[in-house]
Chains A and B, each alone.
Chain A
Amino acid sequence: MSLEIAVHEPSCRGCELCIDVCPTKVFELDAEQRLCVVKHAEDCIACLSCAYICPSTAISHSGYHAVKNFYRDAEFCEKMGKFL
């Protein structure tokens, strides 16, 4: 499965923080609608910087190789699937 990146548009506040942090300039601002849109998905390296900075948690990635994060809160990760 190839890497995909998506912005949940109703949640985007157009703050441009994803544009600021993306190292490969994947995003562009649609000034008219005040939305950050994915313009160059092929350049995404799945660093997830945009997903973390997005105030709305509106950016999601799929089909990337998840690097094991040794600094995760293991206790909470076990509970996360149970959150409604």
Chain B
Amino acid sequence: MSEVTINTEWLSDCSGCHIAIVDLHEKIMNVLQAVKIQRCPVLTDIKDYPKATVGLVSGAIRNEHDRHAAIEMRKACDIVVAWGSCAVFGGPAGAGNIHTPEEIVRAVYLENKTTVSAAAPSSEVSPLESVVSPIDQVIEVDLYLPGCPPHPAFIFEALSALVEGRQPEVNRRSVCAKCKRQMVKTEVTAIKSNSEGIPDAEQCFLSQGYTCMGSVTIDRCLAPCPGNGVPCTGCAGATMQILTEPNRDIRTEIAERMSRLTRIDREAIVLSLERGAKSHYSYTMASSMIGKKPTFHIKKWIEDENEDYEAGGLA
């Protein structure tokens, strides 16, 4: 077998996916024995796109530069992997799709409430495209590895499988499958915000009335957040059930389970999730699987919340 070469590229994202490669620690030696890393923004100084067997592309398409880089990677690489939630689903930048680029530039540069206002950059950085796109809207993708970032164990398995020419061993279970909290039925009657009270360390967040997205999120992390006292925010994107079934959704699936575990009314949970939709859907809303669901009315939900806020009573 000829040597496996790898290019990586980094579009609109935070760099976490590239850092996750470094988090392989000594295991990276096993990978390096079998592959040759060429272009890799955090490890090498190669600026062009040499021919490669595998291309790992992290980040969403946010501007003209991202689009150009994604197309160049596709031309140079035999297998392109959408690597991380931004590349697969658009990631947190997808929340920008609720606003126009002009609104975003105005809020960030011109009318920023927390820093000194300044003109938006006009050189070096290419302008924002009208929407944030997952990379498969622009180039063909061979494999998808969601996660924010994917836990190094999943990256290692994916790279090893590609090198050995076999199917990777993956499961489609949710974050709950790796969370050790006890999911018990309780008499809790109201939803709590994350800043309210001190959650029990042993009991499931849903059982306690806290919104946790573990049950609707694919496990590409091994559940570190709920294991350390922080409810899941859904960073690896929705489970396959939600993505395949238009009549299932993040808010309805959470409400279904939480209302059976507690005494909280199902509709109250759905409403609460709609009001916080910008957070709950942020990682995936740029993806058509979520953003184009006929039941996804985020602009209306945000307007409703603003109206209630202006009227002086948050629901």
> A residues within 8 Å of B by Cβ?
8, 10-11, 13-17, 20, 34, 52-53, 55-58, 69, 71-73, 75-77, 79-80, 82-84
Q: List 13 A-B contacts (CB under 8 A).
A: A8-B177, A13-B176, A14-B183, A15-B261, A55-B214, A56-B177, A71-B245, A73-B289, A83-B143, A84-B145, A84-B154, A84-B157, A84-B158
Nearest 8 pairs between A and B by C-beta?
Answer: A11-B177, A55-B215, A15-B183, A56-B177, A13-B183, A55-B176, A56-B176, A84-B145
Are B143 and A57 touching (Cβ within 8 A)? no
7 more A-B residue pairs beyond the given contacts A10-B177, A55-B183, A76-B243, with a C-beta to C-beta distance below 8 A = A15-B184, A55-B206, A56-B174, A56-B215, A57-B241, A73-B244, A73-B246
Residue B264 is within 8 A (CB to CB) of chain A in the complex: no
Residue B37 is within 8 A (CB to CB) of chain A in the complex: no
Which residue of chain A has its CB nearest to the CB of B145? A84
Q: Main SS of chain A's interface residues? A: loop
Q: Which of B144, B173, B182, B245 contacts A84 (CB 8 A)?
A: B144
Are A52 and B289 touching (Cβ within 8 A)? no
Given the interface pairs A79-B136, A80-B240, A82-B144, the reply to whether A13 lies near B170 with Cβ below 8 Å is no
Tally of chain B residues near chain A (CB < 8 A): 44
Within residues 237 to 252 of chain B, which ones have a CB less than 8 A from any CB in chain A? 239-241, 243-248
- Please give, as numbers and ranges, the residues of chain A lying within 8 Å of B141 by CB-CB distance: 79, 82
In the assembly, what is the distance between CA of A71 and CA of B184, in Å?
33
Given the interface pairs A14-B182, A53-B257, A57-B177, the reply to whether A76 lies near B144 with Cβ below 8 Å is no
Are A52 and B176 touching (Cβ within 8 A)? no
Q: Which of B157, B243, B256 contacts A73 (CB 8 A)?
A: B243
Q: Which of B183, B185, B239, B289 contacts A75 (CB 8 A)?
A: B289
- Please give, as numbers and ranges, the residues of chain B lying within 8 Å of A17 by CB-CB distance: 257, 260-261
Residue B14 is within 8 A (CB to CB) of chain A in the complex: no
Residue B194 is within 8 A (CB to CB) of chain A in the complex: no
Residue B286 is within 8 A (CB to CB) of chain A in the complex: no
- Please give, as numbers and ranges, the residues of chain B lying within 8 Å of A34 by CB-CB distance: 182
In the assembly, what is the distance between CA of A56 and CA of B204, in Å?
12
In the assembly, what is the distance between CA of A64 and CA of B274, in Å?
36
- Please give, as numbers and ranges, the residues of chain B lying within 8 Å of A14 by CB-CB distance: 182-184
Are B142 and A82 touching (Cβ within 8 A)? yes
Residue B146 is within 8 A (CB to CB) of chain A in the complex: yes
Residue B276 is within 8 A (CB to CB) of chain A in the complex: no
Which residue of chain A has its CB nearest to the CB of B185? A16
Given the interface pairs A82-B142, A84-B144, the reply to whether A75 lies near B288 with Cβ below 8 Å is yes
